[in-house]
Amino acid sequence: MIHVPQRISTLPTTVPDALRIAARRTPDAVAVESEDGARLTFAEAQRAVLAAAKAFLAYGLKRGDRISVWAPNMPAWIIVTLAAQTVGGVLVPINTRLKGREAAYIINRSRARLLFTVTNFLNTDYPALLKSESLPDLEKIILLQGRDWSDFIAAGANISDADVERAAAALTGDDVADIMFTSGTTGKPKGAIATHGQIVQTYQSWVDFVGLRADDRYLIVNPFFHTYGYKAGWVACLIAGAAILPHAVFDADTIIDRIAKDRVTVMPGPPTLFQSILASKKRPGADLSSLRMCTTGAASVPHQLIEDMKNILGFDVVVTAYGLTETNGTVSMCSVDDSIERVATTAGRAIPGIEVRCVDTAGKDVPPGTPGEILVRGFNVMKGYLDDPKATAEAIDADGWLKTGDIGIIDAEGYIRITDRAKDLFIVGGFNCYPAEIEELLLDHPAIAQVAVIGVPDERMGEVGKAFVKLHDGQKLTAEELIAWSRKSMANYKVPRFVEFVDTFPTTASGKIQRFELRK
């Protein structure tokens, strides 16, 4: 049976509506709590958004104008986004890992008028990175802290509440809320356009499926510039009325301390996050008793990791999900009632109102249990790529089906298992090889903590597999030993011909391994 909690009585139509509803329902409950313990109630957060919305009107921000945020997870990130969206502005987040030229590309591509950023995150001065870049449409860079922020807020002193209310009243669910640029695991980033209605409908379903509650305290380590931290993070919290606990940098020991100190109940993240916590020397004896629920996801999640998250970290609920930027971050989810086997081996079923198909290279539906490309259709599919009708037409067909580029299997009950990106498939002597399938088999080796497989050129076979392997602490393994073990565990054509041992993997901010970096 799928667990679906009762919906709240009033549903938001826009992202800022979610805060307004929460402020009316529980004005004195904690909305945001920063790492230093500073708190904003929902009523206080709403007043802060109102003040910043007035400033945006004073700056002449009009419906459809874009603003960028280039900063770590922090309360001001949420306030400035909601304020801009309240008066019709469109958010364009920027990855904090990007350098000046990469950020300038997004700012220029989106024609952002204002940039909100910081000067002191991980020894990075973001405005300084842009000094040599041409930014013809950018009118001002505003720091989210100190005098800059105070001056920005002060600019709205002569704007009335009624002015903001008029702008907010004109906003509908069909208005654009954000333009999220693809993560950069392949090619040049493209801006996926999403509306307010798409976001709130998708994340109301998300809240329902995972059972996020108003009494939850949700630690968000996933970056706000990514759908995981933004939409499945603080937007979901606003919808549920839960407390948002932003966290800027992932460090296992610091996270363990904060879970105990702040009584964290919800902490989603990629598998690597939980593997790091489990491996931390600080974890044994730490008070993690408040932990209740998490969502995680990847091409495959080791069964043992799910067991450890429940039995060692103490999560009552662990579910997996699947989504991409072009679907507002969510396509399918497991239910809290699904078995550990389901959670470990699938990404659940499509959320209500969303259709999924699995097709072959000719676009024909394949039988249940047969690998093919996953297609998605429904309210969560982006409106298109910014100013790129050609790429949009290539991604979304005339019937509204989004080609995800993900290879997967849909079983007879509708559960989806993602095996790979279509582009990651490699062919060994005529046999299709899916890296995630091989990785899952290799993870059965007791010495292996993490693994990534790619195809490399081979004169005789066309391509062969190469495995990049990270070992558990204290474990020893040679390439020859692993190849010999693999020959007993998988079909010969799947066996990696090369093995390289590594200490870390290049990843995106959401924890996905960047295979193109491994190929370099």
Of the listed ranges 4-18, 122-136, 306-320, the least confidently predicted one is 4-18
pLDDT tens, residue by residue, 74-100: 999 999 999 999 999 999 999 898 889
The residue with greater pLDDT, 131 or 335, is 131
Give the model's confidence band at 5: pLDDT under 50 very low, under 70 low, under 90 confident, else very high.
very low
Q: CATH 3.40.50.12780 region(s) of the chain? A: 15-25+38-195, 250-423
What pLDDT is stored for residue 300 in this prediction?
62
Q: Does domain 15-25+38-195 have CATH number 3.10.20.30?
A: no
Checking if the pLDDT of 6 tops 60, the result is no
Checking if the pLDDT of 430 tops 70, the result is no
Checking if the pLDDT of 470 tops 80, the result is yes
Instruction: Using CB atoms within 10 Å of the CB of residue 474, give its burial: 0 to 12 exposed, 13 to 18 middle, 19+ buried.
Output: exposed
Where does 206-325 show beta strands of DSSP type E? 217-220, 243-246, 293-296, 317-322
Q: Which CATH superfamily is domain 250-423 in?
A: ANL, N-terminal domain (3.40.50.12780)
What pLDDT is stored for residue 421 in this prediction?
67
Give the model's confidence band at 488: pLDDT under 50 very low, under 70 low, under 90 confident, else very high.
confident
pTM: 0.84
| Of the candidates 389, 322, 334, 392, the residue with the CA atom closest to the CA atom of residue 358 | 322
Checking if the pLDDT of 327 tops 70, the result is yes
Give the model's confidence band at 441: pLDDT under 50 very low, under 70 low, under 90 confident, else very high.
confident
What pLDDT is stored for residue 9 in this prediction?
45
Checking if the pLDDT of 492 tops 90, the result is no
C-alpha distances (whole Å) from 273 to each of 81, 220, 234, 417 are: 26, 12, 19, 21
Checking if the pLDDT of 420 tops 90, the result is no
What pLDDT is stored for residue 187 in this prediction?
52
Residue 64 DSSP SS3:
coil
pLDDT tens, residue by residue, 398-417: 999 999 988 899 999 999 99
Give the model's confidence band at 436: pLDDT under 50 very low, under 70 low, under 90 confident, else very high.
confident
Checking if the pLDDT of 354 tops 50, the result is yes
pLDDT tens, residue by residue, 207-248: 998 999 999 999 999 999 989 999 999 999 999 999 999 999
**Phi and psi torsions of 421, nearest 5°:** -80, 145
Share of the chain above pLDDT 70, in %: 94
Q: CATH 3.30.300.30 region(s) of the chain? A: 425-519
- What does the mean pLDDT of the chain come to? 91
The residue with greater pLDDT, 366 or 9, is 366
What pLDDT is stored for residue 489 in this prediction?
80
Rg of the Cα atoms in the chain? 23
Give the model's confidence band at 509: pLDDT under 50 very low, under 70 low, under 90 confident, else very high.
low
What pLDDT is stored for residue 8 in this prediction?
42
User: Stretch 65-77: mean pLDDT, rounded?
Assistant: 98
Q: Which CATH superfamily is domain 425-519 in?
A: ANL, C-terminal domain (3.30.300.30)
Instruction: Using CB atoms within 10 Å of the CB of residue 288, give its burial: 0 to 12 exposed, 13 to 18 middle, 19+ buried.
Output: middle
Residue 201 DSSP SS3:
helix
Instruction: Using CB atoms within 10 Å of the CB of residue 43, give its burial: 0 to 12 exposed, 13 to 18 middle, 19+ buried.
Output: middle
User: Stretch 299-312: mean pLDDT, rounded?
Assistant: 85
What pLDDT is stored for residue 89 in this prediction?
98
C-alpha distances (whole Å) from 478 to each of 455, 464, 482, 496 are: 20, 19, 6, 13
Give the model's confidence band at 184: pLDDT under 50 very low, under 70 low, under 90 confident, else very high.
very low
Residue with tokens 């198909």: 357
Give the chain's end-to-end CA distance (angstroms, integer): 46
What pLDDT is stored for residue 272 in this prediction?
75
What pLDDT is stored for residue 422 in this prediction?
64
pLDDT tens, residue by residue, 146-170: 999 999 999 999 999 999 999 999 9
Checking if the pLDDT of 432 tops 70, the result is no
Give the model's confidence band at 297: pLDDT under 50 very low, under 70 low, under 90 confident, else very high.
confident
Give the model's confidence band at 431: pLDDT under 50 very low, under 70 low, under 90 confident, else very high.
low
What pLDDT is stored for residue 506 in this prediction?
87
